Amino acid sequence: MNIVLERQSSKPIYLQIRDRIRHLIKSGALKAGDRLPSIRALAESLQVNKLTIIEAYNVLEADGIISARQGSGYFVSSVCPTCTNLKSTFAPVQNVLILESLSQCPSFDTYAPLIHVQTQPGIINFGYGYPPPPKDINHIARRALKQEEGDIFFPYELPQGQENLCRQIAQILVQQGLEVFPENLIITNGSQQGLSLAMSYYVQPGDWVIVESPTYYGVISILENLGARIIGIPMTAEGINLNLLEQYLDSHRPKLIYTITTFHNPTGLTTTQAHRQQLLALAEKYECPILEDNAYEGLNFEPVPAPIKALDKHDLVTYLGTFSKTLFPGLRVGYMVVTGKHYSAILERKFLHDFHTSGISQAIVSEYLASGHYRRHLHRLRTDNLQSRNTMLKALADYFPEEARWTVPKGGLFLWVQLPDDVPIQTLRNEALAQNVFLACCSTFFPDKQGYPAMRLTFRLPPAEIESGIAIVGKLLKKHIRRQVKQISNERSLIHYI
């Protein structure tokens, strides 16, 4: 491998190596699947420290350009960012959806099929977005239990969670730009409990609540159960439509804004720092609290803006996070950041709800954080997810009709495909399932189950499954679109004849 280093340059040596390898891949000199020189061999060839090569390879791996194979070395990724169209085409109609009465389709009707299909062999499941558990989690769990002496896991614990875990989470959040202290944290049974606790605190029956449209389907069901009335403000490519948001803040005086600012579920979008500042300014102007859900934190492919909570000076924002999307959901360990007068009231609700979160689950997460394994695990997840996302983007470009539009997430687990209005989405889902491809029901992501035809697709799948599944769905989509075009043509011919 021909790499010429400028040792007098101000650019660090490891970045020079990264740039040269990236150029070799982009030019075609290195092709997908090619093996890179070993760390030792390249270090000797370039007469640099092995740590310099490790740094260069780590950066390339984080960018999804190369990937490590256990015991085999580093290889050029099968799909790299330079080979993929990274421009989002997401541009939905800006219709506000208002839900004043209870729906007849609770989120359990969506959740149950997702869990059921996960147990069926041979099905490509585009609806279930969770990472595989870390390979070393059993070892970490045994070590966590062994280190604790006596019967520490058996008595009741504090409802806000174990002090050590709260301290560790606070340290993680400080690195994301939040000024958080352990006493601001409440450990919950997953972020779902955090959503329920916060919404039951802020919202009374009959209150208006603003959500993004589409949004996480579980939130719609929680609000319906509380007897709230929902305003679904449409998403743009930049995030929630701020002009429409202000209009409804002024006209309806809602009691809460629910937002997913980073790797939005289901669209995968991430808002800019400016968008976050404007959203907070509107909330302050109309004195409306914000519930900021950041369930996919840590799964970013590139730097993301600090959460809205980091900008909050008036205790207006409650922040939610979880380890369900980065470790595994069965742990049921999430957390809330609550400041000011709201903390005591929400903590009391947590106590009345279930006393405390499992001490064993908290200890496992705490040990995983303390051991340094979590940081390395996130690095592997980001690398794998980026390659899978790029595989899906390429497959969408290759197999989907040109009428389809999709988002290009900068992290997380999902992307969102917007379909033409006349596509029979339920028929499409049934036909795909007949060919062993499962698609989530898109209508549940909209208030009152309205909205446009779309698909939330998880790219947390092996590349071969993504390629095969997208090819099947793309073929079905093209069939329905051709049928619609033919029908429209026949109708026009009939009108012309008449």
Q: What is the pLDDT of residue 322?
A: 95
- Indicate the residue type of 44: E
Nearest to 240 by CA among 212, 265, 204, 208: 212
- Indicate the residue type of 388: S
- Sequence-ordered alpha helix ranges (H) in 203-335: 217-226, 242-252, 273-285
User: 42, 57 in Cβ contact below 8 A?
Assistant: no
Task: Tell me how far apart the terminal alpha carbons of the chain are, to the nearest angstrom.
Answer: 72
DSSP element (H, E) containing 438: strand 437-438
Three-state DSSP state, 206: coil
Q: Which CA distances in Å does 122 have to 35, 307, 372, 443, 473? A: 31, 39, 35, 26, 16
CA distance 389 to 397: 12
Q: What is the pLDDT of residue 424?
A: 93
Q: Can you tell me which residue has the tokens 């840590």?
A: 298
CA distance 152 to 142: 15
Q: Can you tell me which residue has the tokens 């979008």?
A: 269
DSSP element (H, E) containing 331: none
CA dihedral 170, 176, 180, 183 (to 10 degrees): -30
**pTM over the 0.75 mark:** yes
Instruction: Please identify every stretch of the chain with a pLDDT value under 50, giving residue numbers as ranges.
Output: 150
Nearest to 176 by CA among 309, 266, 83, 301: 309
In sequence order, which residues have a C-beta less than 8 Å from that of residue 156 and are 6 or more positions away? Answer: 355, 356
User: 215, 233 in Cβ contact below 8 A?
Assistant: no
Burial 53-92 (b: 16+ CB within 10 A, else e): bebbbbbbbebbbbbeeeeeebbbbebbbeebeeebebeb
Q: What is the pLDDT of residue 103?
A: 57
Q: Are strands 124-125 and 437-438 parallel, antiparallel or unpaired?
A: parallel
User: 158, 300 in Cβ contact below 8 A?
Assistant: no
- Indicate the residue type of 227: G
- Sequence-ordered alpha helix ranges (H) in 49-153: 50-62, 108-118, 137-147
User: 423, 477 in Cβ contact below 8 A?
Assistant: yes
- Residue 188, strand partner residues: 334
* The residue count for the chain: 498
Tokens of 215: 């949004």
Q: Is the peptide bond before 81 cis (omega within 30 degrees of 0)?
A: no
Q: Are strands 334-337 and 185-188 parallel, antiparallel or unpaired?
A: antiparallel
Q: What is the pLDDT of residue 184?
A: 97
Q: What is the pLDDT of residue 256?
A: 98
Q: What is the pLDDT of residue 303?
A: 86
Q: What is the pLDDT of residue 99?
A: 87
User: 288, 248 in Cβ contact below 8 A?
Assistant: no
Angle at 326 between CA 354 and CA 396, to 5 degrees: 125
- Indicate the residue type of 437: V
